[in-house]
Amino acid sequence: MDATILGLLLLDGVQNGVIYGLLALAMVLVFAVTRVILVPIGELMMFAPLSFVWLQGGKLPGTLWLALALGALWALLERGRGRGLPLVGGAGLLLLFLLARGSPALAYLAALLLVVYLGVATYRVFFQPMRAASPEGEHRGATVLALLIMAVGLHVAYQGLGLVFFGPEQFRPDPLLQGEVVVGLTWQGALVLAFALLSAAALYLFFRRSLFGKALLAAAENRLGARLCGIRPEEAGMVAFAIAGLMAALSGLLLAPLINAAYFMGFMLGLKAFVAAILGGLVSYPVAFFGAVLVGLFESFTSFYASAYKEALVFLLLVPALFYQSLRAKGVEE
């Protein structure tokens, strides 16, 4: 272990950690506002670069039809004016895709908007109905566990769809920026780092300073209270999923040149991000991000010293961290 190796491992750990961090931020956001543990975030992340690659090849990806189908369901579930958003959004998306075939700049935008739309539609169609208790109270709103299992079901379905749409192999889109900043860090990698830090800061400010951000959090803590204050919980949920979709898509697009995107790569990323999110107690953004970087660093070093057991060690790292968090937290019965 010399200085070069140490440096490279640190860089690698930070780069990986930042990926987990981005996803962790999105997961904490979604959980805080909707109580949903967004297991399919990995699939959303991968759909963006894969759809982009398809567009570059002049083809329309299957994810477009998925998004439109969910959008149609969304429109059906809404009444009156509420239908405007899904319908207009869907039409716009289709148009954008038709125009974007073969044009990289438009294709980036198209892939991004696709995942945002898909994220919102996913929430509206699958999660929102679960969270609303029925008027007579004959069935209470779903528990966190039920929401989690729903998320698992969607993860399975989306991953299966990913295989059908994109096939089993990986794809490598061209990076936005070529070359290396310094040995071990490419410009693309630096871009990812910058984006991550920006997102963390932005989310922090959004939730601490802006009224809308605070309203979002309020809606998560107490639905009734939020409604009494004029905040619509459903809207809060859709915004949360939209932001999460945006972050997942951007991360995926920026990362794909570095990691080779494939339909199956998302789950493990999402799981480790989830670990990081928990380290932050599922409430704190800076801590979740920091925790994610720690996870990345730990992973980097264990892959050097004991590559076969790397996964086990990373997850076992959790245990003392969990203890610490649990002792600090007030009893949350969920």
CA gap 8, 85 in Å, rounded: 47
Q: Which is nearer to other proteins, 113 or 273 (CB)?
A: 273
Site for other proteins in 107-126 (CB under 8 A): 126
CB neighbours of 79 closer than 8 A, spacing ≥ 6? Answer: none
Contacting other proteins (CB under 8 A), which of 195, 204, 206, 264?
264
| Interface pick for other proteins out of 87, 99, 157, 231 (rule CB under 8 A) | 157
Regarding 205 and contact with other proteins (CB under 8 A), the answer is: no
- Site residues (CB under 8 A) for other proteins, limited to 275-304: 275, 278, 282, 300-304
Kindly identify the residues of this chain, within the stretch 177-196, that bind other proteins according to CB under 8 A.
184
Beta bridge partners of 185: 182
Which among 175, 168, 134 has a CA at the least distance from the CA of 264? 168
Kindly state whether residue 169 participates in binding other proteins, applying the rule CB under 8 A.
yes
229: exposed, middle or buried (C-beta count within 10 Å: 0-12, 13-18, 19+)? exposed
From 25, 155, 246, 294, residue interacting with other proteins (rule: CB under 8 A)? 155
List strand residue ranges (DSSP E) for the chain, in order. Answer: 180-182, 185-186
9 binds other proteins (CB under 8 A): yes
Closest approach of Cβ 135 to other proteins, in Å? Answer: 15
The smaller minimum CB distance to other proteins, of residues 242 and 259, is found at 259
Residues between 304 and 323 with contacts to other proteins, criterion CB under 8 A: 304-305, 307-312, 315-316, 318-319, 322-323
CA distance 213 to 216: 5
Q: Is 65 in the site for other proteins (CB under 8 A)?
A: no
73 touches other proteins (CB under 8 A): no
- The 18-37 site mask, x for binding other proteins (CB under 8 A), equals -x------------------
- Whether the CB-CB separation of 256 and 171 falls below 8 Å is answered with yes
Q: Does 46 bind other proteins (CB under 8 A)?
A: no
- As measured in angstroms, the least distance from the Cβ of 210 to other proteins is 27
Query: Dihedrals φ, ψ of 219, to 5°?
Result: -60, -30
**Tokens 């490598």 sit at which residue?**
172
Please list, residue by residue across 250-268, b when 16 or more beta carbons sit within 10 angstroms of its beta carbon and e when fewer do: bbbbbbbbbbebbbebbbe
Per CB under 8 A, 241 contacts other proteins: no
